[in-house]
Structure 1
């Protein structure tokens, strides 16, 4: 056994080293401190033991480290408590603010949904009204075919009037005006119908945009309503780590509001255009119907006046024909009487001529121009003059009778012409014009 003094090993607190607590060095044993004896009784047991000073230093270090750790843990606990209390309050406040903002967002979405719904209903009503006007325009356009057929048929019928009555009168001028008016009305109705069809298409496009916007807001409202119903006790919430990432394509509130406002502004423009077009169509139908009926009345008045003129002319011709026939009969009787008078002068003429002939046979001095001779010569001259006058009168009477016959033929021909013209005007034109469409039909009802 060695008699050298055994040096005690330094003490290290493993917990202090782990916690970075500075380790106090053990007190150095001075030379005056007597070393323990190295008797044979302690041989093999001294190298692993501490001294009392080391023992005191060790547990005092433990106490100090425990106190330090306790104070540090207390401060951490107080800081943690304040932190989670503040975090809890902030979380509750943020969650309440989010719930409030979701509620305001729901109100805003509901407001815009209501606006969209109102304009959708208005566009639907305007479109239905324009569709009804489109049907009326189509019916009115179809109804103009009847007046056009009537007017052209009247012109064709009147073209078959006999020569003397084939005149460009007031009726023909009014019929030509009616044909031109019907053509212009048809062109106007076609243009108006095209405008109505175009406006219906634009209304439907605007309505589709509003419906898409309304559908998006309907889904967004349901999602935000469901989101606002979530609470910390909701069992169907889950973690979605990537949901908070901001996307580049997401719009902001200003563009979101402007998008709906633009759609509503477009819808309002289409509503105003539809309303103006409805008023225009109503006015067009009213004006065209009024113009067609006024022109129809003008044609009817001209036809009535023309029929009255034909009837009056026919009546006058018939009266004149009766007078001509009476005059022809009288003239024929006068011719017969004149012929009889001429015939009655034959016997006196023969007597006078016979007397003169026989007296011309008197002999010698008896053949003298005595008073009987002068009387017979005067009688013969008078009878010759009378016969000449009667023959002249007979010739004039026969010429007059020929002229009367010509007048009779002309009047009868003109009466037949007037009768045919009156048949065309009254039986063809007037009767056909009774099929003229009514005001309601021309208005598209």
Structure 2
């Protein structure tokens, strides 16, 4: 500041050297005094400097007034805009919070309905145990027939169909119940996710509401110098909206999935009850019909058994042929791999991917593919042989077990079947 002031001093005052008065020769004690002209010049310079400083001070004051008025207006405008934005934000949060709360209620209602449906499925599953016991007991009783009554009749086929139907229905009910349990779990997880989002929005709403109530006269405000710094986990408005939209979309999907699952389960319960009662009527009607003669039934069973045995022999020979074919591929594979190995020892630039190299690689690949195909075919043949042997055992068992009598059918099986569950019980009510 002193340097700037020095630079503003008049040139005459800084450049004119002091001159002693003309009486210095006779009065030595007066040496070094200024002349009147110098006094006036110095006084004029001081006045001029004061005027300059006053002018600059007035300019700074005017500029300062303009700046603090402008900054005050800007700050007030920005603060009003921020307050308005907070109000809009509160409305937006309230809308999304209401949507979340609506879907939470829907999920809760749908989940409660699923819990009730799960109980019905469990009751229906328990109700199938009695038909299964009746059908299996009928089959067990009819296995005691002897002599000419040893027939594979329509009654037994319908009983077997009934057993298979009951097993498939039990499996279907278990799968449906598992789906319901899984959907209940998903609904609860989705509901928890929505509740967490809703809770976060409640907290954000309260914080933004408190922020919006702050004004320049608030006594509980204070400085937070690092509050304006961008945080690493902060998301943008688009991501914020998308997060809640994704949650709501997930909730809508699960609500629709729940409705579809409930409709499916209701249809399953209705259809299995009708199927079981229908099959029960079919079996009851079959019990009242005459069965085919023993000789014809046994001939047919023996014919099928013979065909199965022939097929088993053919399949065993086929397996032997496949195993021999796999064995025959070992030598060509060793040759091709040995050639490739030796050619890999070629030095330097001789290690070239030439036509023989491509040919050998193709040969190895073709042999490997052939072995894969042969092994796959061998596995299928062994599986087929296993199935053929199972069929053979079933035929032998059927031939040996056709000894039940009509007396057992009439006095044992039909009486037992009177305890078959009703349609309402089978539907889980």
TM-score, normalised with respect to structure 2? 0.63
- Residue 16 of structure 1 contacts residue 23 of structure 1 at CA under 8 Å; is this kept in 2? no
Offset, 1:78: 1.1
Structure with larger RCO (C-alpha < 8 A, sep 6+):
2
Aligned-partner Cα distance in 2 for 1:234–1:440:
70
Decide which moves more: 257-266 or 162-171. 162-171
Partner SS state of residue 139, structure 1: helix
Counterparts of residues 392-403 of structure 1 (less than 5 Å): none
Offset, 1:151: 2.1
Is the counterpart of residue 425 in structure 1 residue 405 in structure 2? no
Give the unaligned 5+ runs of structure 1: 1-13, 308-419
Residue 296 of structure 1 aligns with which residue? Answer: 280
- Residue 213 of structure 1 contacts residue 260 of structure 1 at CA under 8 Å; is this kept in 2? yes
Is the counterpart of residue 200 in structure 1 residue 184 in structure 2? yes
Distance change >3 Å, CA 147–CA 216, structure 1 → 2: same
Distance change >3 Å, CA 132–CA 48, structure 1 → 2: farther
Aligned-partner Cα distance in 1 for 2:92–2:6:
58
Partner SS state of residue 243, structure 1: coil
Is the counterpart of residue 274 in structure 1 residue 261 in structure 2? no
Aligned-partner Cα distance in 1 for 2:195–2:17:
97
Partner SS state of residue 280, structure 2: helix
Counterparts of residues 143-154 of structure 1 (less than 5 Å): 143-154=127-138
Decide which moves more: 96-105 or 260-269. 260-269
Q: Specify which of 82, 96, 106 is matched with residue 122 of structure 1.
A: 106
Is the counterpart of residue 233 in structure 1 residue 238 in structure 2? no
Aligned-partner Cα distance in 2 for 1:57–1:148:
130
Distance change >3 Å, CA 86–CA 443, structure 1 → 2: same
- Residue 289 of structure 1 contacts residue 443 of structure 1 at CA under 8 Å; is this kept in 2? yes
- Residue 138 of structure 1 contacts residue 444 of structure 1 at CA under 8 Å; is this kept in 2? yes
Is the counterpart of residue 156 in structure 1 residue 132 in structure 2? no
Decide which moves more: 135-144 or 118-127. 118-127
Offset, 1:89: 0.4
Distance change >3 Å, CA 28–CA 196, structure 1 → 2: closer
Residue 406 of structure 1 aligns with which residue? Answer: none
Question: Which structure has the larger Rg?
Answer: 1
RMSD after superposition: 3.5
Aligned-partner Cα distance in 2 for 1:249–1:149:
62
Is the counterpart of residue 215 in structure 1 residue 215 in structure 2? no
Aligned-partner Cα distance in 2 for 1:172–1:113:
63
Aligned-partner Cα distance in 2 for 1:39–1:247:
86
Residue 9 of structure 2 aligns with which residue? Answer: 22
- Residue 9 of structure 2 contacts residue 45 of structure 2 at CA under 8 Å; is this kept in 1? no
Aligned-partner Cα distance in 2 for 1:210–1:118:
10
Counterparts of residues 33-48 of structure 1 (less than 5 Å): 35-36=22-23, 44=29, 46-47=30-31
